A and B are shown apart, each in its own frame.
Chain A
Amino acid sequence: MHEHGPGESRPHDEITETGPPDYFDVLETALEELLTERNLIRPGEVRHQIDVLDSRTPALGAKVIARAWVDAEFRARLLADGRGTCEELGITFYDDTGLIVLENTATVHNLVVCTLCSCYPRPVLGLPPDWYKQKPYRARAVVEPRALLAEFGTIIPDEVEIRVTDSTSALRFLVLPRRPEGTDDFTEEQLAALVTRDAMIGVVPVTAGKDGSGA
Chain B
Amino acid sequence: MTSIEDFMRRLPNDVGGQPSPAFQRVDHELKPWEKRCHALADVLDFHKIISTEEKRRGVEALGTEMIGRLGYYERWLTAFAVILFQKGLLTPTQLAERMAVVESRFRADPAPDPAAA
Contact = CB atoms under 8 A, between A and B. Distances in A.
B80 A31 contact: yes
A142 interface: yes
Q: How large is the interface on B (under 10, 10 to 19, 20 to 34, 35 or more residues)?
A: 35 or more
Interface string A98-136: 000000000000000101111100000001011101111
Interface string A132-150: 0111111111110000100
Nearest to A46: B39
B16 A130 contact: no
B2 interface: no
The DSSP consensus for interface residues of chain B is helix
A135 B15 contact: yes
A52 B109 CA distance: 28
B106 A3 contact: no
B65 interface: no
Contacts, number: 193
Interface residues of A, number: 69
A12 B35 contact: no
B112 A18 contact: no
Given A15-B111, A24-B33, A49 B106 contact: no
Nearest to A4: B117
A32 B32 CA distance: 14
A100 to B, nearest CB: 17
B66 interface: no
Interface in B1-52: 13-28, 30-33, 35-40, 42-47, 49, 51-52
A38 interface: yes
Nearest to A137: B23
26 contacts: A3-B32, A3-B35, A11-B32, A12-B114, A24-B37, A25-B31, A25-B32, A26-B106, A27-B77, A28-B37, A29-B33, A31-B40, A31-B77, A38-B89, A40-B49, A40-B89, A47-B39, A49-B39, A53-B38, A53-B42, A95-B42, A117-B56, A117-B59, A138-B16, A139-B15, A151-B23
